[in-house]
Chains A and B, each alone.
Chain A
């Protein structure tokens, strides 16, 4: 998030895109509801009529995968009606002309033809967002999990820059992170192309600092992304995979392909707190410690670094991840001699400019939001205050591209995937909690009542859902939150894994797979 959770109370307009906020980020969802009750205006744009839509002043229901089209459409209306923030555009941004040229053709009528959003509604939403000096934008996987994911994010940023809704309280472009520490993992360089704090791997000086501290030579070459590792393993180019706290045999797209790829590996090591589907396939399983069994920090969605303290000792032969990694490094001949997480944190602050002023001592009572460049710095509530980190904010003129796989005669339904409130990710933890499992015991497919009628199935009946990659059997759940032709499945459940069906086509830049769109066929079974 460029801004903070507390900013929600200051926002006059809140725009929520592709996020089932009340179910997936309930704390933030409840803050949004509270803000609406205190007079903030809410715009919700999501192909599913999510619960938050009930609170919206304007709810738009686009077809899945048409984000760039309607985002460009909003930009078109804002430019056309001259309700953009000219000062902000002139002082803070570049490439504005390119954007104007690009969005010229995205008239409300043109957008309606692509997305199904009524032209008038689009205009109303554009006016509401642009006419506010404090409009806060939230988005989640409904923006990113597409082959056009990067384009989607760029057009979101265009919208915020166009209206000057950046770099001040109650505004911003605010992606919601899906797990307690996914922000922290990225900050720590658990990505193929950066070191900690997003220091580019190509940056020789940054690399040199790490080499000095670690006394090794670092490769300058960008590594593989997750999706590339799978395809490399399938081609036999990748021999060994060491997986920590991830269950790709449920969470990756096109699972049959993933399983084949893993079978080709010479060595698969999995480090996790439970024997997951992926760990069951591993040659070596290293038992990790859970959140309550370790000391350290988590960094949350608003960039706040927070302490976590050990409440219980790890059970059995389980160890904290840092101990396992250190021990492994020692075995491999590199003496990784950290004595405590605090010592690791000290190294992080030495090597990471945005974490420089963050120490255990300062984190004792309350977390600190990065960037925090020195020990006296209070942390940063919102980014891009007077200037962007790269200087000027660049408008990206992007054109709408269709998702890779759309319904056809053989596979007539558009399947989009997501989550439910009671299960978390691949259900590794939540399926072990009786109450949560009772609420959401098994996989299902949400279908519009008309579609169910056409297929000849009723609520609770089993159906076979198949794509060109796989098939699963699950039960029908009739819903009025989806339009005809679009169906929804949660991906949590191993027994009816939605990811057997999904498409592994990826975004060319971020390499994120297109979980949100694929084509399926549905038929009733006995």
Chain B
């Protein structure tokens, strides 16, 4: 069930919510880039925005985070460092949302990651459906879509003059009901508008990539394909860094102050040679070709096997960032073609 809030009142609402946590929302930087950023007042929050350059991954798995500190080489001095800030995420897109719900599984199945969970349990996820996917978007082929909302506390649809809002969790319900004076009930034609917006977004996405495109059978892709693709890979790691679904990290100990150390977790990337390098410089993924193949096989083959859906949300950020123009969308297209012609072109 949807409620309506006119756009003029959204900032009033956010000003109330901001008292419960740090607001993270799309903001335009001086040079014109749009990024998710802490907003201390709702003034500069964008209600209509192009896709932020980066996902909100760094708020759940920071680029670098201290796990604990210690001093004098003694285990008894360990002090764990937790991020205690409650955060309200406004303006997430379905692709960002899916990445977070997948992170929930990644950081909890088998082993429960206390650092991640500390952050995650204090979040409010406000997702806005994606009316205007850009040229690099293909979320509809990755098992979600422009109006995917599973796991959002609050899901919103932009109807031009106002947002249609639906709360899906107790937390989300509270955030709406506590300020019910800002909302009115949605009418039937509003529901029709939502349906219309979703369909026009979908047709835009189908223009980027057909919805029924098949994920490749990796046993049918020969090494020549990877050899050719890897020539354009600079092993810079930016694809992993911008990917909302890349959670690989490295853990190192560093000196903090004199006689004090800290254990630090940092982002890592499977395209680096050092990622899989073992003692004696042995490496099962020595060449760029091997590493690229492993990266795509992990996302498009292993992920569906393990989790039931691909390790990609179709956000297209890797396409934008890659200096060698190796984007997930074009790779899927090329792979589909490669497999359909059985590697013989």
- The chain A residues found within 8 Å of chain B, CB to CB, are 22-23, 26-27, 29-30, 33-34, 37, 51, 54-55, 309, 365, 421, 434-435, 438-439, 441, 460
Per-position 1/0 for B238-251, Cβ under 8 A of A:
00000000000010
List 19 A-B residue pairs with CB atoms under 8 Å apart, sorted by A's residue number. A26-B234, A26-B323, A27-B323, A29-B234, A29-B323, A30-B232, A33-B325, A309-B30, A365-B32, A421-B236, A434-B250, A434-B252, A434-B266, A435-B250, A435-B268, A438-B274, A438-B277, A439-B273, A460-B280
Cβ of B272 under 8 Å from chain A: yes
When the two chains form their complex, are residues B266 and A33 in contact, meaning their CB atoms are under 8 A apart? no
Partner of B324, one of A30, A309, A460: A30
Give every chain A residue within 8 A of B323 (Cβ-Cβ).
26-27, 29-30
Name the residue on A nearest B268 (C-beta): A435
Nearest Cβ on chain A to B34's Cβ, whole angstroms: 16
When the two chains form their complex, are residues B231 and A51 in contact, meaning their CB atoms are under 8 A apart? yes
Per-position 1/0 for B18-54, Cβ under 8 A of A:
0000000000001110000000000000000000000
Name the residue on A nearest B273 (C-beta): A439
Distance of A441 Cα from B281 Cα, bound (Å): 11
Nearest Cβ on chain A to B230's Cβ, whole angstroms: 10
8 nearest CB pairs, A to B: A438-B274, A30-B323, A54-B231, A26-B323, A439-B274, A460-B281, A26-B234, A30-B324
When the two chains form their complex, are residues B235 and A55 in contact, meaning their CB atoms are under 8 A apart? no
Distance of A421 Cα from B325 Cα, bound (Å): 18
- The chain B residues found within 8 Å of chain A, CB to CB, are 30-32, 231-232, 234-237, 250, 252, 266, 268-269, 272-274, 277, 280-281, 323-325
Given the known A-B contacts A27-B323, A34-B325, are A435 and B234 also in contact in the complex, defined by CB atoms under 8 Å?
no
Distance of A54 Cα from B231 Cα, bound (Å): 7
When the two chains form their complex, are residues B325 and A30 in contact, meaning their CB atoms are under 8 A apart? yes
Partner of A23, one of B234, B252, B277, B280: B234
Distance of A30 Cα from B237 Cα, bound (Å): 15
Distance of A194 Cα from B289 Cα, bound (Å): 49
Give every chain A residue within 8 A of B231 (Cβ-Cβ).
51, 54-55
Distance of A239 Cα from B95 Cα, bound (Å): 64
Name the residue on A nearest B252 (C-beta): A434
Nearest Cβ on chain B to A297's Cβ, whole angstroms: 15
Give every chain A residue within 8 A of B30 (Cβ-Cβ).
309
When the two chains form their complex, are residues A435 and B325 in contact, meaning their CB atoms are under 8 A apart? no
Name the residue on A nearest B236 (C-beta): A26
When the two chains form their complex, are residues A22 and B252 in contact, meaning their CB atoms are under 8 A apart? no
Name the residue on B nearest A433 (C-beta): B266
When the two chains form their complex, are residues A33 and B324 in contact, meaning their CB atoms are under 8 A apart? yes
Nearest Cβ on chain B to A456's Cβ, whole angstroms: 19
Give every chain A residue within 8 A of B325 (Cβ-Cβ).
30, 33-34, 37
When the two chains form their complex, are residues B266 and A435 in contact, meaning their CB atoms are under 8 A apart? yes
Distance of A23 Cα from B280 Cα, bound (Å): 26
Distance of A153 Cα from B235 Cα, bound (Å): 32
When the two chains form their complex, are residues B235 and A435 in contact, meaning their CB atoms are under 8 A apart? no
Nearest Cβ on chain B to A187's Cβ, whole angstroms: 23
Name the residue on A nearest B232 (C-beta): A33
Distance of A421 Cα from B252 Cα, bound (Å): 23
Distance of A460 Cα from B231 Cα, bound (Å): 24
Distance of A435 Cα from B273 Cα, bound (Å): 10
Distance of A410 Cα from B311 Cα, bound (Å): 57
Distance of A438 Cα from B268 Cα, bound (Å): 11
Give every chain B residue within 8 A of A34 (Cβ-Cβ).
325
Give every chain A residue within 8 A of B274 (Cβ-Cβ).
435, 438-439, 441
Nearest Cβ on chain B to A300's Cβ, whole angstroms: 16
Nearest Cβ on chain A to B331's Cβ, whole angstroms: 15
Give every chain A residue within 8 A of B252 (Cβ-Cβ).
434
Give every chain B residue within 8 A of A33 (Cβ-Cβ).
232, 324-325
Nearest Cβ on chain A to B242's Cβ, whole angstroms: 15
Give every chain B residue within 8 A of A26 (Cβ-Cβ).
234, 236, 323
When the two chains form their complex, are residues A439 and B272 in contact, meaning their CB atoms are under 8 A apart? yes
Distance of A460 Cα from B266 Cα, bound (Å): 28
Nearest Cβ on chain B to A32's Cβ, whole angstroms: 11
Nearest Cβ on chain A to B325's Cβ, whole angstroms: 6
Distance of A102 Cα from B97 Cα, bound (Å): 69
Nearest Cβ on chain B to A320's Cβ, whole angstroms: 20
Nearest Cβ on chain A to B16's Cβ, whole angstroms: 32
Distance of A434 Cα from B280 Cα, bound (Å): 19
When the two chains form their complex, are residues A435 and B236 in contact, meaning their CB atoms are under 8 A apart? no
Name the residue on A nearest B64 (C-beta): A434
Given pairs A55-B231, A365-B32, 8 additional interface contacts (CB within 8 A): A22-B324, A29-B234, A29-B323, A30-B323, A435-B266, A435-B274, A438-B274, A438-B277
Name the residue on B nearest A441 (C-beta): B274
The residue among B234, B237, B252, B277 with the most chain A CB atoms within 10 A of its own CB is: B234
Nearest Cβ on chain A to B139's Cβ, whole angstroms: 26
Given the known A-B contacts A29-B323, A434-B252, A434-B266, are A22 and B273 also in contact in the complex, defined by CB atoms under 8 Å?
no
Partner of A438, one of B31, B272, B280: B272
